Amino acid sequence: MDGNMQHIKDYLFAQTRNYAGWVTPEFEDLAKQFSRLQDARTQQGGAALAVYFQGQKVVDIWTGKKSATEDWQSDTLSVCYSTGKGVLATLAHILVSQGLLDYDTPICLYWPEFAQNGKASMTLRHVLSHQSGLYDIRNIIADATEMADWSHMLNVLAQAKPRFEVATEAAYQPLTFGWLVGGVLEKATGQSLAALMQQYLVEPLALDGAYFGVPTSGLSRVARPFKTSVTPPKSVIPPANKASSPSLKSKSVKRPVSILDKAIAWSGQDPQDFQDGMIPKGMKNFSFFSDEGLQAVIPAANGVFSAQSLARIYAMLAQGGSLHGQQFIQPAIFQQLSQVQYRQRDRVMPIPMLWRLGYHRILSLGKASNGFGHMGFNGSGAWCDPERQLSFAYTHNFAAGSLIGDYRLWGLSQEAIRCADRQLQGRKGWF
């Protein structure tokens, strides 16, 4: 049977209560949608969904398998790839609100070595909005295993030369974003990224599970992809069971031209930009799901979160930078972070993302939103809609890969907004 037809059949005949946790009656339609989208694949992996509305948690549900032998639990953590970029950006905005750094001060004033190779005028604003020209990972390191060395990667980025003049265009920074932003935060404050996360996000928001570099004590909570009888979709990043030992030598193999490459080329973009930004040399030698990969600090790609922690971070943003009476981000700073900085399609992403300072637009199946957030390569995602006072987070451990999420993320985002609109406007609507 055709794959799309099978998905439709699975959806139509799915159970509507195949989940644990709880949901308020107003958002029960969203929980049913979550169940429909996960029901047919609950033996292949698991997923979690959390939503806040008007400052209160309204959805906290999960389903499926954390591993081949374990069920998903309320405190299960997931590798969320680029979804972590939004968390890192939020931390940056809090530090700007604290007066510890500034969007428009040259980075080299905090980090003198960064001025090399034409970067003397580059600012945090340029990096957060993907206008730095520093998107290339493929040509600045020899092997993907180097990504696990935080101090080494900061030195590599300090020496790197932008691919275009700063602020003249944009190119999504799939991997370099984390070292660039995280490096600035560390240099400006004199504290480690882990300490900053703990002091300014984890403790004040009472988060149970939000890491760039999972501590040893937290490894057992992480859901990882596992082998099933179903063949997962192909991904440019290999799942955990394909990871090789870092001791293996990387062979130079020319990557075949894919349908995605052809589509990007047809659209006028250069497939080389995608490859240079997304795929380090020797990626077969490294897995984000190995213990080493989970414990490394690679904030653009290996952030590990619970859905509940992500939704709570974005609940604060949905309330304009405050939650339950505690102000995290000053109103003037919030106005800046939520303003679109770049509207055109960039060099790497296939569609315009409407880049804010560290976030992009919400992708749904029709509902319009002025909100913002960030999704990950595996189809995880988290976002806020301040006008609706709504926040959303979806995590999972299925082996999948897509630049702009998949239909589950879009469909769940759509239904979350529809449920909120029923409360705010008296009708759900589709657009």
Helix (H) or strand (E) holding 182: helix 176-189
CA 6/CA 3 separation, integer angstroms? 5
Instruction: Name the token pair of 43.
Output: 């033996």
pLDDT at 267: 67
pLDDT at 275: 95
Cα 395 to chain centroid, rounded: 10
What secondary structure does DSSP assign to 291-347, as a single string? HHHHHS--TTTB-EE-HHHHHHHHHHHHTTSEETTEE-S-HHHHHHHTS--B-S--S
pLDDT at 257: 62
- The four Cα atoms 36, 38, 43, 48 give a dihedral, to 10 degrees, of -130
In order along its 431 residues, the chain shows pLDDT tens digits of 566 788 888 888 999 999 999 999 999 999 999 999 999 999 999 999 999 999 999 999 999 999 999 999 999 999 999 999 999 999 999 999 999 999 999 999 999 999 999 999 999 999 999 999 999 999 999 999 999 999 999 999 999 999 999 999 999 999 999 999 999 999 999 999 999 999 999 999 999 999 999 999 999 999 999 988 655 444 444 333 333 333 333 333 454 565 555 666 666 778 999 999 999 999 999 999 999 999 999 999 999 999 999 999 999 999 999 999 999 999 999 999 999 999 999 999 989 999 999 999 999 999 999 999 999 999 999 999 999 999 999 999 998 877 777 889 999 999 999 999 999 999 999 99
Buried b (16+ CB within 10 A) or exposed e, 217-240: ebeebbbbbbeeeeebeeeebbbb
SS3 state of residue 431: coil
pLDDT at 12: 87
Count of alpha carbons within 13 angstroms of residue 394, beta-carbon side: 30
What secondary structure does DSSP assign to 125-156, as a single string? HHHHTT-SS----TTT-S-GGGGG-HHHHHHH
Instruction: Name the token pair of 374.
Output: 């960030």
Helix (H) or strand (E) holding 392: strand 390-396
Closest CA to 87 of 223, 202, 219, 171: 202
Instruction: Name the token pair of 378.
Output: 């595996």
3-state helix, strand, coil in the chain (%, to 5): 40, 15, 50
Structural domains of the chain in order of their starting residue, each with its CATH number: 75-354+396-408 (3.40.710.10)
pLDDT at 239: 38
pLDDT at 228: 82
pLDDT at 256: 59
